[in-house]
Amino acid sequence: MNARRRSSWVPAVALAALAASSSVALEPVLFEEAASGILELADYSRLRVEGFAGTVSVRAGKPGELRYSAATRATKREARPVALWLRGSTIIFRPVAGLEAEVLILEIAVSEGVQLEIEKKGGKVQVSGVSEDVSVDSVDAEVDIRGVPGRVSATLEGGRLRLESLGPQAIVSGTGLEAVDLVRVMGGVRLTLSESSVRAETVGPMELDLDRTTFDLTGSTGGISGTVSEGRLKLADVRGGGSLVLEETPLDLADSRGAYEIDTDSDLNFRSLAGSLNVRSFGGAVTGDGHAGEVTIGNRDANVFLKNIGGPIVINGDTLKITLAETRNTVHAELIGSEVMAEGLKGALEIRNEFGDISVKGIEGPAKITNRNGNVHVLDLTGTAEIDAEGPEVRVGWRSIGREGDSRIANTGGDLYVNFPVSQGARIEAQADNIESDLEELRIAADGRHANGLLENAKSPTVTLSASGRLVVSKGR
């Protein structure tokens, strides 16, 4: 009988009998070879499609049945038979023996409650609206899976993959994928890929294990975690934070919220964040512009540039070049062999540094600096200063000295230059190898090594100055 013309309506009792016999044998039983058919599903809960060239298309069908048809192409269709096998509770579609190389379009509509497995080499896989779990294993194929509420797993070698509007979870592994597109996969995604390219948009939590892979993400509601080596990451609009270990993988993180833990040896660029950011780095530059939360950085042999940071900043490191601008909270740094430049700091500043220069302009909070073997310049200071230095030169200048506390500035390694604001007073107590000043209020002792006085007849605050070299005290310069 011509298989294309007939529609096989197989009674449930017949399929159940075949299911029982194939289950006992544990070997597939050939049921029919036809170009189309309709089956009552009975006790069958799994559908497997394997070995076809061309296109395999599976979509949601009517309750309790499976329909299929096979042809050579979409237009001017020429019907071709396929083999339908049964094994236990599994229905299996295979090419007819001897026709494995024929390029077909196999279309299947399957009822809800049936899990789907597809094995494919080359060609295309299209799955839409299937209600249960879907599993695809492919080589050099184009795989497109959409509207599946069950779990989706895909193992691929080469080819392309698109997942869209999926449910609980998607698990993807593979190598050499030209493109992986993930759109509205809200239940979570686990990616294990190498030598691939990924773009994701509007997804749930993501877990990454990537090697030599580029990854661009826009919109995530559950955070991101995992490891990436020799790749590139670009993340935007990620909600829920994340934990990432990156090796030779630059990261661009933007417009995101949550707590982030980043271990990296490569460049990190962030902007417009809220939450907290903890970076442990070696050798990679950290550049940030705009963050509402706390930033903690541990780094070595690298540049650090932070601007418009609203939360506290904590930096620990060795051989760093640090630039800070327009910060709105406290800054604390523990450094060795580093250089610090800062301007426009709204909160308190505390720095400990060995072997490096510190240059700060415009601090509205108290400044506490301990520096060895380097120059210290602190200008346009508002508030108190406690500076303990041992270097060639220290320069300190107040924009407004305030009344909130006393200040102490000492340089045991060289010269000290101090400038006070016009029309603002303080009590000065000073000692140095040589003191110079044109201020009438400052009385310098005959030995030229001690001085004291009341600027603007003010008895507070007290500013204590000391230097092992030259001390120059001025006003309004």
Residues 6+ apart with CB under 8 A from 344: 325, 326, 327, 361, 362
User: What's the pLDDT tens digit per position in 415-468?
Assistant: 999 999 998 899 999 999 999 999 999 999 999 999 999 999 999 999 999 999
| Across 94-120, average pLDDT | 95
Contact, 104 vs 52, CB < 8 A? yes
User: What's the pLDDT tens digit per position in 125-154?
Assistant: 999 999 999 999 999 999 999 999 999 999
Structure confidence at residue 77 as a pLDDT band (50, 70, 90): confident
Residue 23 pLDDT greater than 70, yes or no: no
Helix-strand-coil percent breakdown of the chain, rounded to 5?
A: 5, 65, 30
- Arithmetic mean of pLDDT over the chain: 93
* Residue 477 confidence (pLDDT): 65
Closest CA to 58 of 146, 188, 139, 142: 146
Token pair of 198 as six digits: 């990924």
Which residues, in sequence order, are bridge partners of residue 203?
A: 185, 220
User: Can you spell out the DSSP letters for 354-406?
Assistant: ESS-EEEEEESS-EEEEEESS-EEEEEEES-EEEEEESSEEEEEEEE--SS--
The secondary structure of residue 16, as a DSSP letter, is H
Percentage of the chain modeled with pLDDT above 70: 94
* Residue 167 confidence (pLDDT): 83
* Residue 73 confidence (pLDDT): 77
Question: What's the whole-model pTM score?
Answer: 0.88
Percentage of the chain modeled with pLDDT above 90: 88
The secondary structure of residue 239, as a DSSP letter, is B
Structure confidence at residue 74 as a pLDDT band (50, 70, 90): low
Closest CA to 259 of 270, 280, 244, 274: 274
User: What's the pLDDT tens digit per position in 231-249?
Assistant: 999 999 999 999 999 999 9
Q: Parallel, antiparallel, or unpaired for β 36-40 and 90-95? A: unpaired
Residue 3 pLDDT greater than 50, yes or no: no
